[in-house]
Structure 1
Amino acid sequence: MSKAQINKPVLLVDGSSYLFRAFHALPPLVTSKGQPTGAIKGVINMTRRLQSDYPESKIIMIFDAKGKTFRHDLYDQYKANRPPMPEDLRGQIEPIHEIIKAMGLPLLIVPDVEADDVIGTLAAQASDKGIDTIISTGDKDMAQLVTPHVTLMNTMTDTFMDQQGVKEKFGVAPEQIIDYLALVGDTVDNIPGVPKCGPKTAVKWLTQFGTLKGVMDNADEVKGKIGENLRNSLELLPLSYELATIHTDVALDQNLDEIEHDHINNERLLELFKEYEFKTWVAQLEQTGTTSAPTAQSAQSTTSVEELPESTINAEYETILTQTAFDHWLEILSNAEIFAFDTETTSLNYMEAQIVGVSFCVEAGKAAYVPLAHDYMGAPEQLDRESILAALKPILEDEQKHKVGQNLKYDMNVLANHGIRLRGIAEDTMLESYVVNSVSTRHDMDSLAKKYLNHNTIHFEDIAGKGAKQLTFNAIDIEKAAPYAAEDADITLRLHQKLSVELDQIPSIQPVYRDIELPLIPVIADIERDGALVDAHLLGCQSKELEEKLVALEREAFDLAGEEFNLSSPKQLQTIFFEKLELPIIKKTPKGQPSTAEPVLQELALDYPLPKVILQYRSLSKLKSTYTDKLPLQINPATGRIHTSYHQAVTATGRLSSSDPNLQNIPIRTEEGRRVRQAFVAPEGYKLVAADYSQIELRIMAHLSQDEGLLNAFSQGLDVHKATAAEVFGVATDEVTTDQRRSAKAINFGLIYGMSAFGLARQIKVDRKTAQGYIDRYFERYPGVLGYMDRIRKQAHDDEYVETLFGRRLYLPEINANNKMRQQAAERTAINAPMQGTAADIIKKAMINVSQWLAESSFDARMIMQVHDELVLEVREDQVEEVTVGLLERMESAASLDVPLLVEAGVGNNWDEAH
């Protein structure tokens, strides 16, 4: 999951909770044939409400599976007191599931575990990525899942419960809820608990003793009959605790990142709504083609999608199979003021892709597709590809012939495979949408067509199929391929017409689009095509060394265990750890087995040698499989280089991301990880030059806040972390210790990312009160920073967006949310986003400047990577010094701040040496 999704909470819906609450809350509705429908209507109504309130969020529906779960294996009396499900309700479950599927929502039903455990697992996965989660449920047990990133929502009462809400409702913190439930017990689920121990008693004990273990350890101190009940329950309390614990490590077929919404099946929905006699929904679907409830209009749009009439796009698409027809279109293109252009290819890999056909559109509704290389059996004769591309080349390379496309960087690279340099890029609809609002929608054509044109495009899967049997474009029947390809060009032109209006309404963002994002397209395309040289032999040697280390660790593990076993087998680890070595059981799996998950191993590794060895083994094994084994396979055989893909329209703040491989995620914190960078090498006769902005976000903070202390520190070239340490710890600058500087660095960076006293305390290993004291002293010494934070919070609440120095808007849809936790998260984003976004804008401007300078110079040098705040160049050895001087000059002049931009450069035979 990307950063663009961070402000869009994931919604996890406790479908089983919805089911029972809807059944009991609504009157017993039935169809004319006697089919009960009250629960169906209630569940779907609540689900539609969620879609309306959270139109950009991933909504996942989770229901209990039939049959027993692992908790029944732990305790055969679990839920024994529950009456059987009413038949009227049982018959409504499958219809609910069918409607949810037709609505395109993910539906999870996992055997052997409860819906709670699936929800807990997905919430944990989201939290690990810093993504906020809302759990829609009425189940009190879910309170144990509440964290700074996880909130409960009761749809029926329209209330939210964050950490403070849990404390107010139950009298204990979320991390004490399991202890609370274990003590109180549950007569419905038949969790034993302590007889006669009610909520007040449980709160009293937990307040006094802290945890269930503390209560059990001090049971003798509890007087009277309740104390006797407690002591008599000590044997069953661990079981009660286990039964009440929601597991967060369930093995799922798909992780959160892989779970996606499907397309709405309106035909099936109409059938179901008619079958269950939901007349209002039938009428709505027949009239508008949508089941969605109206939503609030987006931050940047004057008309919401739901207000648009059903798409009435009229189009005339032509398939060009004769030279006469092509010549006619060539004349049209030659005289067009602007035209939309798209390629259809054999592959998504831009280095390997070959053109199968091209499409054009010069007027909305009038588009053409020229098939050139469809080669299936029985394919009609087509125009010669090389001749057609040669005829198009002068137009495509003409700077004065304006082109509009969707993600034209890809088309630019594909055309380069055929010897054509695309010029005259006037508009890119993906980037127009991204600059208008980076967080409101996905920026692919299908999503944009639905949002801005209320039009469902032909999807690639519709004509090519899915999965392993999916056809490449050259194998698709031209009769199917032509409407799809021509529609791409038509919709692109229509989208530009809509999005250009959106851009014009916000003049401040025009320079971001015109001066940063559009000029960056050819720059990134060149970096991608140039690629980075990688030493496959060195990676092979590293893989071999890692294999030897893994073998040694394996032997060490065998010695510690006293026998041989499979280090990757959880089952065998369970046997060795908990049966043979009798290590303490810290956590159990959903099936009741002792867990050997990484967090468990990390805790055990503090006291026992074997878990530590297993962790080392796992770390090196992942490094080997992900990097040293895989990177050589990603080397292009024709160029001998790795060619990543950079993405302009993914992150919320404007930063570039990369994939296949992800160069921005190569590990550098361990010695073995840093060695991977050593495999990125310079060719013979060349060096790598790596230039990195120093503390750029802190410098931007100094500029934005106008704090005198920070401005002076940077202007005088001081070590800002050392200067901060002197201020915060009240010592002379030359007396600052290494630990104090490290703590000051954590404060400097932590505060601009919204770190709390609790987070700072954990990072620098002090108590919370001491950490809060450091923060208070920081703001006393740097009052301008505090003033900036207060101003930007207020501005964000008023405008619902913040801006970078260059005008890029960063919308904050949760800034005025009713839920305080989500509002505070948006406030933290409001503080940091202008810094991150400005830093992104600066390095993009630097890339444009450097690219133009190199193109106009006679230097034998090229940019080969952009990673975070760093540019990596490949430079001929005898030109390194001169290129480095020019590189630093252009990077440092990319923006004018009230403090100097400092760039540090290194030179080496490989990336690690140069960094």
Structure 2
Amino acid sequence: MEKILLIDGSSLIFRAFYAIRNLSTKDGLPTGAVYGFVNMLNSAIKQIEPNYLAVAFDKAGPTFRTREYAEYKGTRDKTPDELNSQFGIVRDLLDSYGIKHFSLDDYEADDILASLSRKANEENIESYMLTGDRDYFQLIDDHAYVLYTVKGISQLEIYDKEKIKEKYDGLSPKDLIEIKGLMGDSSDNIPGVPGVGEKTAIKLIKEYSTIENIYENIDKIKGKALPKNLLENENLAYLSRKLGKIICDLDLGIEIEDLKVQEENRQELYEKYKALEFTGLMKEYSPEVEEAHDFDASLLAKKDYKDLINFIEKEKELVFDLINEDDYIKEKPRYLAIKSKDNKVYTLDLENDFELFEKHFKSLFESDKIEKVSFDIKKSIVMFDKLNVQFSDNYQDLMILSYLINPSGSYSLQDLGLSFLNVEIKALDEYLGKGKKRINLSDLDQDQLLEYQANNLFVISKAKKLLLDKIEEMEMKDLLYKVDLPLVKVLADMEIYGVESHAKEFEKLDEEISAKIENLENEIYDQAGEKFNINSPKQLGVVLFEKLELPVIKKTKTGYSTNIDVLKKLEDKHPIIPMIEEYRQLAKLKSTYIDGLIPMIGEDNRIHSKFNQTVAATGRLSSTEPNLQNIPIKTEEGRLIRKGFFAGKDKKLVSADYSQIELRVLAALTNDENMLSAFEQGIDIHTKTASEVFKVDLDEVTKLQRSEAKAVNFGIVYGISDYGISEDLNITRKQARNYIDSYLDSYPQIHKYMEDIVEIAKEQGYVKTMFARRRYIPELSSSNFNLRSFGERIALNSPIQGTAADIIKIAMINVYNRLKKDKLQAKLILQIHDELIIESPDNELEKVKKIIKEEMENAVDIGVKLLVDVEVGDSWYEV
């Protein structure tokens, strides 16, 4: 029997969105719902092997159900913007899969799919409806099944008549329509009969079959409350059944034959998954690729090393690959592979052949005359430091080249091989077995090791010229050689040196916060009148909305919502709410930061974070393991965590922070006279903006007006909408819109820039920073409004954020080089967005303060004076 797979696109996207919340591309495009949807789609196709396929979506706007009952689905929140944008991406992917998708005025997705299911069954075709919505259970029949999502999105389970009978105490699928009429549905705001839950509804329908029969036999129903409730709400029972019943006989003008499974467009899917950074799916749909077998690999023998060294010195180029067991911050490198002439590759076991390396090869890595070429040079510099190798400044990093060419991509040698050479090579975990928590190179046999490193060198050596030619074509040579490549060495040294930190400081803070948490727990229990699990949303919901009878803001399928937005709206309703908010903040502080930081402290009493320069599409740096750029600053308890980071003995920390650098960049990019004048005269820019927006003299600007002007200033920088500003300031969207309009009137050149930059981005497909860093914006050509709007925000803020990021990088390089040139012991140890931190010996302090201020303020000339605030202290908290 042939099969049709019918997919409720809206249900699956919502389910995927809440199952995968934090997935996005490097440029911030949310993709979790798309990823979850695609995985469920592929799993269902594999499981069912359908002959026909169709997807239905709910259409925005009223339906016959809302006309019947205005409050239908009335308690649902507005669809989040980060979810809205993903619907268009899913539809676009379905087109590449060759899958038809539909939506219909006045009806919902389940009505469309139910009608297609019945039509297919009449043509003797089995139907499988893929959904996360239990309403579909009413449609199950002899040849109609529901493929239901369980365990988030990881498992799909087939429901048939027997499974319904088992789950609902012997009832049939059609009985579920009657159940819905009696008990309603809180997620869809279908009222049902008050006081009738699932157990009572099942019992009544088992005995009387239909709602009509219940009312015909109302005098036989035992008890006082139930018959009374039923009689008083008879109209709600019939209304709820009507709302909950899925329409099965729509004339859609679609023939089942039109839904026959089509051949997918693999090239389109490859390109789209590449743009979405779905690496696994990208590989699955990658074009036919070659395998890298051109290189002859062997272990380096003593008889070979002279020829290898002669080749390197003649070519003035050392192409290498360095690998280690696991964490490059903590462990020594294990195997070094070097390319020789005639596509020959030699591998050294650095553990067993260290003397050979130290005697004959170490000097090559330290030589300024020889260019070292590899992928992710920073990692190699950090590892070589453990072998006392003073890596020279003459190097080429293909990871950096790849990033500059496509800052929104993913970066591995495997990706590089596919993208530029159409060559497929294996990642290390493909040799070792996925899922292993730790890489153990001893699991590799010799042939696998040699093949892995030879393939890496094949890609590195073959791709280098292609990438450099592309960089020249894109006019980014200055950016490469003056900013991003020199920065690699700076970041490597920061990782090697680390930040002084002692566990006892965090343990002391842990005691203080744990005591506060315990006190808060007791206060919350007193307010609630009982003990309960504060971390359980279900138990907390019962306490807040049933016991304390606070107004219900939002309900979910599993109960009451108690998220941060809900608690914010209840702050003035009961003293328990601020306590719960503070409890959650402290609990997160303890688990994420204090408990998370202590294990990161090394034997040298320093934390060695990893600094990444190929993560953010804007060019900004990020920090991981641990993320030191995300230490809380808004609460006193959060700031206290910075007490755990301090200067070493007889040293101080020097912090230098750019003052409003992004607004200064905005003034420079737009050449807006009003803003330029404010910076030139040293007028506080937020006060100036408040004066312009609220039409008052500078000395009459209130604190509130300055605060609101500040939100608008940074809102413009980050491309925020009137909705975003209204949420931030707790004002109406109309007020927020008026603020923005007044701002744009006050700064006409900024207004013009905002219009022009979007048009430029649409025309050329990308925007640039002042230093030629590019960011491509494919979203601007999307047919989806939300995606285009997202692209416009990127076009607005990328040149500003990217230029500011470039300036801080140049400053880092200049500060680093100046400290070396002046032969100081002081070390650059941290970069936190617009702030640099140096650990300085006490006797160098005045020199260091002067150097950091000079080098940061004079890093570049953008036509607007850059100002830096310098602070000194024993700890990060003090500065």
TM-score by length of 1: 0.70
* Alpha-carbon distance between aligned partners in 2 of 1:664 and 1:651, rounded to the nearest angstrom: 13
In the alignment, structure 1 residue 84 sits paired with structure 2 residue 63: no
Match of residue 486 from structure 1: 454
Q: SS state of the match for residue 324, structure 1?
A: coil
**Equivalence for 1:719:** 684
Is the counterpart of residue 534 in structure 1 residue 580 in structure 2? no
CA distance in 2, matches of 1:369, 1:19: 41
Task: Answer whether contact 2:393 2:486 (CA < 8 A) is retained.
Answer: no
User: Among residues 620, 631, 635, which one is paired with 1:655 in the alignment?
Assistant: 620
Q: Does 1:746 align with 2:723?
A: no
Q: Which of 525, 530, 537 does residue 558 from structure 1 map onto?
A: 525
What is the total number of aligned residue pairs between the two structures? 713
1:443 lines up with 2:411 in the alignment: yes
Q: How far does residue 307 in structure 1 lie from its aligned partner after superposition?
A: 11
Residue 730 to residue 405, structure 1, CA distance change in 2 (3 Å): same
Residue number in structure 1 paired with 2:400: 431
> Matches of residues 497-536 of structure 1 in structure 2 within 5 Å?
497-507=465-475, 509-536=476-503
Q: Which residue of 2 aligns with 1:805?
A: 770
SS at match of 2:771: coil
Contact kept, 8 Å, 1:795 with 1:802, in 2: the verdict is: yes
Q: 3-state SS of the aligned residue for 1:322? A: coil
User: 1:314: Cα distance to partner?
Assistant: 3.5
Select which of 319, 329, 351 maps to 2:308: 329
Post-superposition Cα deviations, 1:75-112, rounded to whole Å, max 9, x if no partner, equal: xxx5464252737x89xx89xx9xxxxxxxx9743679
Query: Which letter does structure 1 place at the counterpart of 2:873?
Result: G
Q: 1:534·1:635 contact (CA, 8 Å) conserved in 2?
A: yes
Partner in structure 1 of residue 865 of structure 2: 900
User: Could you say if the C-alpha distance between residues 493 and 552 of structure 1 is closer, same or farther in structure 2, counting changes exceeding 3 Å?
Assistant: same
Asked if structure 2 preserves the Cα contact closer than 8 Å seen for 1:339 and 1:403, the reply is yes
Seen in structure 2, the aligned counterparts of structure 1 residues 424 and 842 have a Cα distance that, compared at 3 Å, is closer
Q: How many angstroms apart in 1 are the aligned matches of 2:736 and 2:564?
A: 29
Do residues 4 (structure 1) and 26 (structure 2) align?
yes
Measure the CA separation in 1 of the matches of 2:263 and 2:533. 60
Residue 365 of structure 2 contacts residue 390 of structure 2 at CA under 8 Å; is this kept in 1?
yes
> Secondary structure in 2 aligned to 1:873?
strand
Question: Equivalent of 2:591, from 625, 640, 645?
Answer: 625
Question: 1:10-57: CA deviations, max 9, x gaps?
Answer: 52575799899999xxxxxxxxxxx985226999xx999728869xxx
Q: CA separation in 1, counterparts of 2:131 and 2:548?
A: 29
Match of 2:227 in 1: none
What secondary structure is seen at the aligned counterpart in 1 of 2:783? coil
Q: Please state whether the residue corresponding to 1:691 is helix, strand or coil.
A: strand
Deviations 1:350-382 (A, max 9, x none): 231112210012468432222344xxxxxxxxx
Aligned amino acid, residue 709 of structure 2? A
Residue 391 of structure 1 deviates from its aligned partner by: 1.9
Pair 1:467-2:432 in alignment? no
1:564–1:297 distance in 2 versus 1, CA, 3 Å: closer
CA separation in 2, counterparts of 1:771 and 1:314? Answer: 61
One-letter amino acid matched to 2:587: S
- For 1:108 and 1:861, locate their aligned partners in 2 and report how far apart those are by CA, in whole Å: 52
Structure 2 partner of 1:669: 634
User: Residues 80 and 329 (structure 1 numbering): CA distance in 2 closer, same or farther, change over 3 Å?
Assistant: closer
Distance 1:772 1:858, change over 3 A: same
Q: Distance in 2 between matches of 1:111 and 1:585?
A: 33
- Quote the Cα distance in structure 1 between the aligned partners of 2:91 and 2:571: 47
Residues 1:353 and 2:331 aligned together: yes
What does 1:184-583 align with in structure 2 at a 5 Å threshold? 233=235, 295=271, 310-311=289-290, 313-348=292-327, 350-362=328-340, 365-373=343-351, 383-439=352-408, 441-468=409-436, 471-507=439-475, 509-574=476-541, 576-578=543-545, 580-583=547-550
The answer to whether the aligner puts 1:884 opposite 2:849 as a matched pair is yes
Shift in CA distance, 180/309, structure 1 to aligned 2, threshold 3 Å: closer
Question: What's 1:211 paired with?
Answer: none
State how far apart, in whole Å, the 2-side matches of 1:469 and 1:883 are: 43
Aligned residue number for residue 171 of structure 2: none
1:654–1:841 Cα contact (<8 Å) kept: yes
Change in 2 beyond 3 A, CA 1:240/1:434 = farther
Asked if the contact 1:516–1:845 (Cα under 8 Å) also holds between the matched residues in 2, the reply is: yes
Q: Deviation per CA, 1:488-514, whole angstroms, max 9, x where unpaired?
A: 22211122132122112222x111111
1:780 to 736, 742, 745: 745
Amino acid in the other structure paired with 1:628: I
Residue-by-residue CA offset, 1:848-893 (whole Å, 9 max, x unaligned)? 1111100011333110100110000111223222221221111011
1:39 to 52, 68, 72: 52
Instruction: Indicate the residue corresponding to 1:857 in structure 2.
Output: 822
| One-letter amino acid matched to 1:568 | N
How far residue 771 of structure 1 moved from its aligned partner, in angstroms, is 2.5
Match of 2:696 among 709, 728, 731: 731
Query: In 2, are the aligned partners of 1:446 and 1:456 still within 8 Å (CA)?
Result: yes
Distance (whole Å) between structure 1 residues aligned to residue 595 and residue 269 of structure 2: 50
Structure 2 equivalent of residue 837 of structure 1? 802
Question: SS at the partner of 1:910?
Answer: coil
Residues 322 and 107 (structure 1), Cα distance of their counterparts in 2 relative to 1, 3 Å cut: farther
Per-residue displacement from partner, 1:700-756 (whole Å, max 9, x unpaired)?
111111111011100111111111111111111111111111111111111222222
How far apart, CA to CA, are the structure 1 residues paired with 2:686 and 2:563?
Answer: 37
User: For residues 359-408 of structure 1, what are the alpha-carbon distances to aligned partners after superposition, in whole Å with 9 as ceiling and x for unaligned?
Assistant: 012468432222344xxxxxxxxx53233233211111001111111001
Instruction: Kindly indicate whether the alpha-carbon contact (under 8 Å) linking 2:300 and 2:347 is maintained by their aligned counterparts in 1.
Output: no
Q: d(CA) in 2 for partners of 1:756 and 1:471?
A: 46
Deviations 1:661-686 (A, max 9, x none): 10110000000000111221112211
- Which of 777, 783, 790 in structure 2 is aligned with 1:818? 783
Contact preservation (8 Å) 2:25, 2:31: no
Identity of aligned residues (%): 32
The question of whether the paired residues in 2 share the 8 Å contact of 1:3 and 1:650 is answered with: no
Q: Look up the SS of the partner of 2:423 in the other structure.
A: coil
2:96–2:268: 8 Å Cα contact kept in structure 1?
Answer: no
Q: What do the CA deviations read for 1:226-255 (whole angstroms, capped 9, x no partner)?
A: xxx9986557889999999xxxxxxxxxxx
Task: Tell which deviates more after alignment, 726-735 or 573-582.
Answer: 573-582
Deviations, residues 130-151 of structure 1 (Å, cap 9, x unaligned): xxxxxxxxxxxxxxxxxxxxxx
Distance 2:307 2:599 in 1: 45
**Structure 1 residue matching 2:878: 3-state secondary structure:** helix
CA displacement at 1:414 relative to structure 2:
0.2
Please state whether the residue corresponding to 2:861 is helix, strand or coil.
Answer: coil
Q: What 5-or-longer segments of structure 2 have no aligned partner? A: 1-22, 57-88, 98-112, 115-126, 160-184, 193-197, 199-230, 247-259, 276-281
**Residue of structure 2 aligned with 1:50, choices 93, 99, 122:** 93
Matches within 5 A, 1:121-200: none
The 3 A distance-change label for structure 1 pair 779 and 614 is: closer
CA deviation after TM superposition for structure 1 residue 562, in Å: 2.7
Conserved 8 A contact 1:406-1:445: yes
Q: Does 1:767 align with 2:810?
A: no
Question: 5+ residue gaps in structure 1?
Answer: 24-34, 55-62, 73-77, 98-105, 114-176, 185-189, 191-228, 245-276, 285-289, 374-382
Q: Which amino acid aligns with 1:315?
A: D
TM-score (norm 2): 0.73
